Amino acid sequence: MAKSSPKHLNALAQEQSPYLQQHAKNPVQWYPWQSQYLERAQKENKLLIISIGYAACHWCHVMEHESFEDEEVANVMNKYFINLKVDREERPDIDHVYMQALQLLTGQGGWPLNIVALPDGRPVWGGTYFRREQWIDYLNQLVNLQQNNPEKLLQYAKRLTQGMKELAIVRSSFPPVLKQEQLDQLFDRLHQKIDAVHGGMGGAPKFMMPTLVDLFLASKRLNEHAHLTLRKMALGGLFDVLGGGFSRYSVDHRWHVPHFEKMGYDNGQLLATYSRAYREKEDLLYKEVVDKTVRFLIQELQHTSGGFYASLDADSLDKKGELTEGAYYLWTKAELESLGLLEQPHFESYFGVNKAGYWEHDNYVFYRNTPAQEFITQYSLPSNFNQQISIWENELLAARSKRARPRLDDKIICSWNAMIGRGLLEAHTSFEQKEVLAILTNLLHFFPVQFHREDGGLFRLNKQGARAVKGFLEDYAHLIAFYIDAYEKFFETELLDRVAQLIDYCFHHFKTENTPLFLFSEEHDLVVSTHEVNDNVIPSSNAVMAENLLRAGVHLGKTKWKEHGEAMLSNMGEDALAYPRAHSTWLRLHQQHIQGNREVVVVGPNAIQWIQILKKTPLPIQHWAASETASELPLLNFRFQEGQTLIYLCENNQCRLPLDTLDEAKKALKLT
- Looking at the predicted structure, is the pLDDT value of residue 168 above 70? no
CA atoms within 13 A of residue 512's CA, in its CB half-sphere? 18
Q: What are 448-457's pLDDT values in tens digits?
A: 999 999 999 9
Domain count, the chain: 4
253-270 b/e with 16+ CB inside 10 Å = b? Answer: bbbbbbbbbbbbbbbbbb
Question: Is residue 115 located within the same domain as residue 194?
Answer: no
CA atoms within 13 A of residue 311's CA, in its CB half-sphere? 23
* Calpha distance 312→263 (Å, rounded): 7
Q: What are 553-591's pLDDT values in tens digits?
A: 999 999 999 999 999 999 999 899 999 999 999 999 999
Q: What are 322-374's pLDDT values in tens digits?
A: 989 999 999 999 999 999 999 999 999 999 999 999 999 999 999 999 999 99
* Calpha distance 575→555 (Å, rounded): 29
Terminal CA-CA length for the chain: 70
Question: Is residue 438 located within the same domain as residue 554?
Answer: yes
Question: Is residue 564 located within the same domain as residue 419?
Answer: yes
Asked if residue 324 is part of any domain, the answer here is no
Residue that terminates a domain, selected from 138, 168, 198: 168
* Calpha distance 613→609 (Å, rounded): 7
Asked if residue 556 is part of any domain, the answer here is yes
- 185 touches 192 (CB < 8 A): no
- Looking at the predicted structure, is the pLDDT value of residue 226 above 80? yes
- 483 touches 501 (CB < 8 A): no
Question: Is residue 537 located within the same domain as residue 619?
Answer: no
Q: What are 144-164's pLDDT values in tens digits?
A: 999 999 899 999 899 998 888
- 284 touches 371 (CB < 8 A): yes
Residue 46's CB is within 10 A of a number of other CB atoms, namely 18
pLDDT value of residue 472:
97
* Calpha distance 660→601 (Å, rounded): 12
pLDDT value of residue 175:
62
Q: Which amino acid is at 326?
A: G
Asked if residue 503 is part of any domain, the answer here is yes
Closest-CA residue to 81 (of 141, 157, 139, 164): 139
CA atoms within 13 A of residue 397's CA, in its CB half-sphere? 15
Residue that terminates a domain, selected from 168, 200, 232: 168
Closest-CA residue to 55 (of 64, 46, 67, 66): 64
Asked if residue 99 is part of any domain, the answer here is yes
Question: Is residue 397 located within the same domain as residue 424?
Answer: no
DSSP 521: -
* Calpha distance 453→223 (Å, rounded): 42
pLDDT tier for residue 5 given thresholds of 50, 70 and 90: very low
Q: Please, what is the Cα angle at 148 between 142 and 149, to 5 degrees?
A: 80
**pLDDT-above-70 percentage for the chain:** 98
Asked if residue 321 is part of any domain, the answer here is no
Residue that terminates a domain, selected from 113, 140, 168: 168
* Calpha distance 141→137 (Å, rounded): 6
Question: Is residue 360 located within the same domain as residue 490?
Answer: no
Q: Residue 18 contacts by C-beta under 8 Å, 6 or more apart in sequence?
A: 55, 407, 408, 409, 410, 411
Stated pTM of the model:
0.92
pLDDT value of residue 2:
46
Element of type H or E holding 313: none
pLDDT value of residue 499:
98
pLDDT value of residue 4:
45
* Calpha distance 562→565 (Å, rounded): 5
- Say if residue 112 is preceded by a cis peptide, omega within 30 of 0: yes
Domain with residue 257: its CATH number is 1.50.10.10
DSSP 582: G
Q: Residue 573 contacts by C-beta under 8 Å, 6 or more apart in sequence?
A: 174, 175, 176, 177, 178, 586, 590
Q: Is the dihedral of CA 278, 280, 285, 286 positive or negative?
A: negative
Q: What are 410-442's pLDDT values in tens digits?
A: 999 999 999 999 999 999 999 999 999 999 999
Q: Residue 147 contacts by C-beta under 8 Å, 6 or more apart in sequence?
A: none
- Domain hosting residue 608, numbered range: 598-668
Residue 44's CB is within 10 A of a number of other CB atoms, namely 9
- 499 touches 486 (CB < 8 A): no
Question: Is residue 306 located within the same domain as residue 372?
Answer: no
Asked if residue 513 is part of any domain, the answer here is yes
- Looking at the predicted structure, is the pLDDT value of residue 647 above 80? yes
**Three-class HEC string of 218-256:** HCCCCHHHHHHHHHHHHHCCCECCCCCCECCEECCCCCC
Output the average pLDDT for the chain. Answer: 93
> In DSSP terms, which residues pair with 222 in a beta bridge?
none
Asked if residue 323 is part of any domain, the answer here is no
Question: Is residue 228 located within the same domain as residue 300?
Answer: yes
DSSP 358: B
Q: Is the dihedral of CA 382, 384, 385, 388 positive or negative?
A: negative
Question: Is residue 558 located within the same domain as residue 457?
Answer: yes
- 460 touches 90 (CB < 8 A): yes
Question: Is residue 426 located within the same domain as residue 396?
Answer: no
Compute, in degrees rounded to 10, the torsion defined by CA atoms 115, 116, 119, 120. Answer: -40
CA 129 to chain centre: 23
Question: Is residue 424 located within the same domain as residue 548?
Answer: yes
Question: Is residue 558 located within the same domain as residue 613?
Answer: no
- Looking at the predicted structure, is the pLDDT value of residue 6 above 60? no
Asked if residue 37 is part of any domain, the answer here is yes
pLDDT tier for residue 1 given thresholds of 50, 70 and 90: very low
- Say if residue 205 is preceded by a cis peptide, omega within 30 of 0: yes
pLDDT value of residue 164:
84
Q: What are 456-479's pLDDT values in tens digits?
A: 999 999 988 889 899 999 999 999
pLDDT value of residue 331:
97
